[in-house]
Amino acid sequence: MIAKINNFQIDLSKPIDISIPLTNTDENPIAWYIEKPVIEPVVFGDWIGKVSEGKSSTNFNNIFFNPHGHGTHTECLGHITNDFYSINQALKQFFFFAQLITVKPEKIGEDFVITKDQISNALNVSNFSKTEAIIIRTLPNQKDKKSRKYSNTNPPYLSEEAAKFIRESEIEHLLIDLPSVDREHDEGKLLAHKAFWNVKDTHNLNIDARFEATITEMIYVPDEIEDGNYLLNLQIASFENDASPSKPVLYAIVNL
């Protein structure tokens, strides 16, 4: 099925899901020092909400998880502010023209960092001036990103200058295959988060902070998906929370 959006032809028949599913197994990725998600049936006395147990006609599970630490999630600036802001209120549009780029973080001291130069060199707006979202795939791109245990591993992250460059490029949505755009242990500075959202003071929010901008972390983009331009459908659950588990889906643009 081919749809036409702003004179671009979009192939809707071949969705490319770049989210990581949430499970209650050891295959679930984990960050931020927590345990794996819990998915288990409700129990009332001797009644168990599980058809295979023979006492229920339905499967009726409770789910306990943390969106930031248990897989693909999308967050708004409420993630770092004193006042409450909800991703469900921040994200009101769900389709965006996006560009997928691949970078290999640079070794700087003891860290691996995605720099401004890497982003600016990889980002190509010369033949596609409507980039609203950037999707960053990092190298090496092992499949174990889908099940990696990130706690206390000092994963790569985005430099403050790179995040500022993305903001100044008027890109509203940032997606990355890492647990955070910031350093794991950064003394609470959150430099990349603040630079991208243009937050100067988390307790007294400036009027030009980017309320509608989002960051999506812990995606996975397989190697066979080529760098370039796509239509992004950014799906979230309707949680009144700073973040929600999410399902970003890409669609090829066939007439570029």
pLDDT of 221-244, one tens digit each? 999 999 999 999 999 999 999 999
pLDDT confidence of residue 43: 96
pLDDT of 20-66, one tens digit each? 999 999 999 999 999 999 999 999 999 999 999 988 999 999 999 99
**Global confidence as pTM:** 0.96
Average the pLDDT over 123-137 and give the result: 81
Largest CA distance in the chain: 65
The fraction of the chain above a pLDDT of 90, given in percent, is 92
Higher pLDDT, 189 or 4: 189
pLDDT confidence band for 246 (50 / 70 / 90): very high
C-alpha to C-alpha distance for 164 and 14, rounded to whole angstroms = 33
What is the C-alpha radius of gyration for the chain, rounded to an integer number of angstroms? 19
pLDDT at residue 250 tops 80: yes
C-alpha to C-alpha distance for 208 and 199, rounded to whole angstroms = 8
Q: Is 24 helix (H, G, I), strand (E, B) or coil?
A: coil
pLDDT of 64-110, one tens digit each? 999 999 999 999 999 999 999 999 999 999 999 999 999 999 999 99
Q: Pick 2-22+67-253's CATH classification: 1.10.1040.10, 3.40.50.2300, 3.40.30.10, 3.50.30.50.
A: 3.50.30.50
The fraction of the chain above a pLDDT of 70, given in percent, is 98
pLDDT confidence of residue 127: 53
pLDDT at residue 128 tops 70: no
Q: In what order do the strands lie in the sheet with 157-158?
A: 106-108, 111-114, 157-158
pLDDT confidence of residue 172: 98
pLDDT at residue 156 tops 60: yes
What DSSP assignment string belongs to 40-79? EE-EETTEES-GGGTS-SS--EEEE--TTTSS-EEE-GGG
